[in-house]
Homo-oligomer: A and B are copies of this chain.
Amino acid sequence: MEKDTVSQIKLFMEPRSIAFIGIRGESGAGSRNPLKYVLEHGYSGRVYPVNPNYKEIAGIKAYASVKDLPEVPDLAQILTPQHLVPRLIKEAAESGIKALLVVAQGFADSGGDGRRLQEEIVAIAHRSGARVIGPNCFGVANAFLNLNTAFVHTEMEKISIGSITQTGFFFAGFPAMAVAGKVLDLGNTCDIDFADGLEYFGQDDDVRLIVLYVEGIKDGRRFMEVARRVARRKPIIALKAGRSAYGKKSASSHSGSLAGEDHVYDAVFKQCGIIRIEDTEELVDLCRTFLAFPLLKGRNLGVLTLTMAGGTITADACARYGLRLEKFSDDTIKELKGLAQDWLAVGNPVDLGALDFGPKGLKSSFKVGLETVLSDPLVDCVLAILPSTAHQETVMENADAALKLADIHRDKPITLWLYGPEKDSRVKERYESSGRIVNYPSPERAVRALARLAQYSEYVNQVD
């Protein structure tokens, strides 16, 4: 079954040929012609427009029916309104196509008759041994094959994230993530489910992190079995929507999902080692965090800050999200004391302002302070709080120093909060392009992300 699932999903995610059934000829802006975008993205497989009303579409010979195609394509994407879908599913399945993707809305998402129509197309497909993704689905995206079957243009990049969703949203470059790596939109999830996607991404070497957008999961038992197994090898983060009564109603009219009791999902995710996120911004934070950092050895955070208010805010965040802000080792304290004025208390958070006024002065305080804290065996990860503006030269020197230290201390994540108005994007870029240090929009979000990384690290250590 496991191997079977993987080869079935491969037809959707790595097809060598695709039929676009019911595709129309429009190609201007806003035409919503997926074939046009597939060609623009540079997909190198074979594509077949299928529509009896056209001789060619986007410069490619069109076929009146799937029965006329010169080969049995790996994947068929069905693009007609919902009432035509059952007949086209039947033709495609009977002609031997094993992967069917249905785009139209108006199935379980619209209730009543739509739900029956949805059950019908699954039954038809299964009779010929085909599987269905959708309906009410955007398509699939695989940046590693320059493949994107969405009907709007969305950008892709070869990032090591596999998303399994019930929305096309993730194609639009989910907020600030900029781009999609691999996306499997399950839509109404009539047949292919989250467990199938997990099975596939679990074995996919291109994918290091799996993201779920869940409105409802049908086969909970199988989901748990697969998720538990996959989460040991790769982090899985999940945004579960429909937690409230409002949200359940909305989910039900969106993907036709029964959202279920929220606390059940909480328990399921926890048992499987899935990190459940609180909001859309955490999704972005955790993608960056999990791709940048190794597992954490513990929950002790060392903080260096030029603003002690930032230190206090960070301390509160540690209590809220479950990181520890412990005393440094005696050696570290001794070393830091040597840098500060003698009447100043030295602790965690480290007051970089105090070091600045100390005998060694501004320029070296961050670098020496960071090196000292990173070398402390009691410290598992670090947050540095620095202004993005003042003394541009110093800020850039600090970035270089931090990046060098990140190379030496690869086992200890270095996070950053660059605060203040952004005047010069080079500083952020210098840090962000490194892939080694992650800059967060607030200290709270840095702490939350590290706490989730700790949670996942503990799951992996506990099950091993």
Residues in A lying within 8 Å of B, measured CB to CB: 29-30, 82, 105-106, 110-111, 114, 152-153, 155, 165-169, 172-179, 213, 215, 239, 241-247, 249-251, 253-255, 279-281, 307-313, 315-320, 325, 341, 343-345, 347, 349, 354, 362, 387, 389-391, 394, 419-422, 441-445
Chain B residues with CB under 8 Å of A249's CB are 315
Write the nearest CB–CB distance from A444 to chain B, whole angstroms.
4
Write the nearest CB–CB distance from A127 to chain B, whole angstroms.
26
Q: How far is the CA of A239 from the CA of B420 in the complex (A)?
A: 17
Pairwise interchain contact A442-B280, C-beta atoms closer than 8 A: yes
Closest CB pairs A-B (n = 10): A244-B319, A167-B309, A246-B315, A254-B308, A247-B316, A247-B315, A250-B312, A178-B421, A241-B312, A250-B315
User: Known interface pairs A110-B343, A281-B442, A420-B172. Does A318 touch B354 (Cβ–Cβ under 8 Å)?
Assistant: no
Chain B residues with CB under 8 Å of A177's CB are 421
Pairwise interchain contact B172-A307, C-beta atoms closer than 8 A: yes
Q: How far is the CA of A105 from the CA of B30 in the complex (A)?
A: 62
Q: How far is the CA of A307 from the CA of B254 in the complex (A)?
A: 9
Pairwise interchain contact B241-A313, C-beta atoms closer than 8 A: yes
Write the nearest CB–CB distance from A346 to chain B, whole angstroms.
10
Pairwise interchain contact B175-A419, C-beta atoms closer than 8 A: yes
Chain B residues with CB under 8 Å of A443's CB are 280
Q: How far is the CA of A421 from the CA of B284 in the complex (A)?
A: 12
Pairwise interchain contact B215-A312, C-beta atoms closer than 8 A: yes
Pairwise interchain contact B343-A106, C-beta atoms closer than 8 A: yes
Q: Which of A82, A246, A389 has the most CB of B within 10 A?
A: A246
Pairwise interchain contact B246-A318, C-beta atoms closer than 8 A: yes
Chain B residues with CB under 8 Å of A253's CB are 308, 345, 347
Pairwise interchain contact B308-A391, C-beta atoms closer than 8 A: no
Q: How far is the CA of A313 from the CA of B254 in the complex (A)?
A: 11
Pairwise interchain contact B176-A421, C-beta atoms closer than 8 A: yes
Chain B residue nearest in CB terms to A448: B279
12 contacts between A and B (CB under 8 A): A111-B345, A169-B309, A169-B419, A175-B420, A176-B421, A176-B441, A243-B316, A243-B319, A244-B320, A246-B319, A279-B313, A280-B443
Chain B residues with CB under 8 Å of A308's CB are 167, 250, 253-255
Chain B residue nearest in CB terms to A357: B105
Pairwise interchain contact B173-A106, C-beta atoms closer than 8 A: no
Chain B residue nearest in CB terms to A113: B343
Chain B residues with CB under 8 Å of A173's CB are 389, 420-421
Q: How far is the CA of A96 from the CA of B315 in the complex (A)?
A: 42
Chain B residue nearest in CB terms to A170: B309
Chain B residues with CB under 8 Å of A311's CB are 250, 254
Chain B residues with CB under 8 Å of A316's CB are 241-244, 246-247
Q: How far is the CA of A433 from the CA of B176 in the complex (A)?
A: 21
Pairwise interchain contact A166-B390, C-beta atoms closer than 8 A: no
Write the nearest CB–CB distance from A385 to chain B, whole angstroms.
10
**Given contacts A172-B389, A241-B316, A254-B312, could you give 12 more A-B pairs where the C-beta distance is less than 8 Å?**
A110-B344, A167-B307, A168-B307, A169-B307, A172-B307, A176-B422, A239-B313, A241-B312, A242-B316, A246-B319, A251-B312, A279-B313
Q: How far is the CA of A254 from the CA of B354 in the complex (A)?
A: 11
Write the nearest CB–CB distance from A395 to chain B, whole angstroms.
12
Pairwise interchain contact B111-A254, C-beta atoms closer than 8 A: no
Q: How far is the CA of A422 from the CA of B155 in the complex (A)?
A: 12
Identify which of B82, B111, B153, B317 contacts A390 (C-beta below 8 A).
B153
